[in-house]
Amino acid sequence: MSSFWELYEYQPSFVIGFHGCDEKIGEGLLSGRQRHLNPSRKKWDWLGHGIYFWEGNPQRAEEWALDRVAAGQIKVPFVIGAVIDLRHCLNLLDSSGQRQVKDAHKMLEDIQAAVDLPMPENKGGKDKAVRMLDCLVINSLHDFRAEKSFPAYDSVRAMFPEGDSLYPDAGFQDKSHIQLCIRNKACIKGYFRPITS
C-alpha cells in the first residue's frame, strides 16, 4: 500500500468544489450558524464516506439538488461553493491510487471469502449509481492503511464517465464529472455563494 510515489499523493493547490443541498443548509453555512457540511455515511457512497463535492462543476451540483427536490429530499435547491485543499489525496486519476484500490479489493475479497460472505455489488444501470462494492472497497482501504499505521487520506478524487453520449460514437458523456470526497474537514478552507450571473 505504500511506495516511493506517495510523495505525489499530496496535492499542491486548491480546487473549487460545489455541493448541492437544501437552501437552509447552504444559508446556515454562509451565515456561520453551521460550521461544515455533514459527511455522508451511506453504504452506497461512490468514494466511501465523507463530504461530497463536484469539482469545478456548479451545474452538476444544481442538477443533483433539483433531482433531490423531485424525490422529496430537498425543499429549496441550493448550490454552495467551497475552497478545498485536497492535502493527502487518494487520487483515482493516478496509477498509484488505482493500484491501491485494486489491492484493497483483493484483500477484501479474501476476507469475505474466509468468512463465507459474498462481496456486495454495484447496481443501478450503466452508470452504477448504487455503488455498494466501491464504497466498501474504499472504506476498507482506509481501514487497512490505519491498521498498518500508514498516513490517512484526507480526500478521495475520481472521474466518473456518466450519462448519454454527446453525439453518435462519442467518447464523451453528458454527465461526466470529477467527484471529491472530503474525509478531513480541515481540507475545506471556506464556503462561498457562487456567482450566478
85-125: pLDDT as tens digits: 999 999 999 999 999 999 999 999 999 999 999 999 999 88
How would residue 5 be classed by pLDDT, with cut points 50, 70 and 90? low
Does residue 65 fall inside a structural domain? Answer: yes
State residue 63's pLDDT score.
Answer: 94
Q: Report how many domains make up the chain.
A: 1
Cβ of 197: how many Cβ atoms within 10 Å? 2
Does residue 8 fall inside a structural domain? Answer: no
Which domain does 54 fall in, by range?
Answer: 13-192
The 3-state DSSP class for residue 133 equals helix
Q: What percent of the chain has pLDDT over 90?
A: 84
Does residue 3 fall inside a structural domain? Answer: no
Does residue 23 fall inside a structural domain? Answer: yes
Does residue 52 fall inside a structural domain? Answer: yes
Does residue 154 fall inside a structural domain? Answer: yes
- String of b and e for 9-43 (b: at least 16 CB within 10 Å)? bebeeebbbbbbbbeebbbbbeeeeeeebeebeee
Does residue 167 fall inside a structural domain? Answer: yes
Q: At residue 8, does pLDDT exceed 80?
A: no
Give pLDDT tens digits for 11-61: 778 999 999 999 999 999 999 999 999 999 999 999 999 999 999 999 999
State residue 126's pLDDT score.
Answer: 79
Phi, psi of 159 (to 5 degrees): -105, 135
Q: What is the CA radius of gyration of the chain?
A: 18
Does residue 21 fall inside a structural domain? Answer: yes
